[in-house]
Amino acid sequence: MTSAHDIRTPSPVNLLWTGGWDSTFRLLQLLLQHRVEVVPYYLEDPTRASTQREIQTVERITAALRESHPHTRALLQPLRRFAVEGIPVDPDIAAALREIRRRSYIGSQYAWLPAFCRQQALPDLELCVHVDDKVQALLRGYAQEFAHPAGYRSMRVDRAHTGSAEHTLFGSFSFPLFHIDKVGIDRAANAAGWGELMELTWFCHTPLRGRPCGICPPCVYTIEEGLARRVPPSRRVVSWFYRRLWLPLRTALRQWRATGHGRGNERPPAPGYGGT
């Protein structure tokens, strides 16, 4: 008997890939460990300073994979790029995001992402939510393990929660990295011999002279989640002061606005995928 949580379309696997640490690790798992076909997706915001760098990173990793693992040429499909500004957010998705933000602040990308899945009729997009991610904490009581037809285990929001804000926002995703953190990814990648490929990844949203800034959200997460070595020492110093002095005030103001105060109609920030 087929489980209610089994995906009915076994291949290819749809993956949100930004050229970042988490999503690149997942890409390598799919291509090199599970050897399944992958359709990578990228949501493009040309106003973000790192967009071109992320696209170049994806191209660099793709070229390195084709060179070192020729079988990936047949498995990895071309990157499918979509403009964020072309994704309409339906009222129920916007309302679900507002509801969740009353309890826990999550970024505006979690309106665009489910809206994108709805627009493209994607029933299952792999999203690399991991341990220490706010969304992972939010979904712990909602997510359930399931067997993917490609032969691995993953997590998704239980359909028993249909109608909840959590299911409205995250019901179109699966979360294959739900039980691992960034340091665990580092260990697993090195054990598999993928260390060099992982070092090609990029995460900073506002690079300075081509190097990580230390203060954008992905840089902060990278430092706080155990991979500070990836940020230059001088920017780590700047980050230390930023995280202890300015960031707490900024976070409090952002949460205040998210609950319906302040300027409720301002344009959402660029989709910060957390360096995935």
* Structural domain of 74: 13-204
How many angstroms separate the CA atoms of 208 and 212, rounded?
6
Percent of the chain exceeding pLDDT 70 equals 86
Q: Is residue 134 part of a domain?
A: yes
pLDDT of residue 49: 85
pLDDT of residue 182: 96
pLDDT in tens, 71-120: 999 999 999 999 999 899 999 999 999 999 998 889 889 999 999 999 99
Residues of the chain with pLDDT under 50: 1-9, 263-275
pLDDT score for 265: 41
Domain assignment of residue 146, yes or no? yes
Is residue 87 included in any domain, yes or no? Answer: yes
Number of domains in the chain: 1
Report whether 119 contacts 88 (CB < 8 A): yes
Closest C-alpha among 175, 164, 163 to residue 5: 175
pLDDT at 6: 42
**Any domain includes 191:** yes
What pLDDT does residue 163 have? 96
Indicate the average pLDDT of the chain: 88
In a domain, residue 8? The reply is no
State the pairing for strand pair 80-83/38-44: parallel
Establish if 38 belongs to a structural domain.
yes
pTM value is 0.85
CATH code where residue 155 lies = 3.40.50
Cα(189)–Cα(197) distance, rounded to whole angstroms?
9
Q: Is there a domain that residue 126 lies in?
A: yes
In a domain, 210, yes or no: no
Q: For residue 215, what is the enclosing H or E element?
A: none
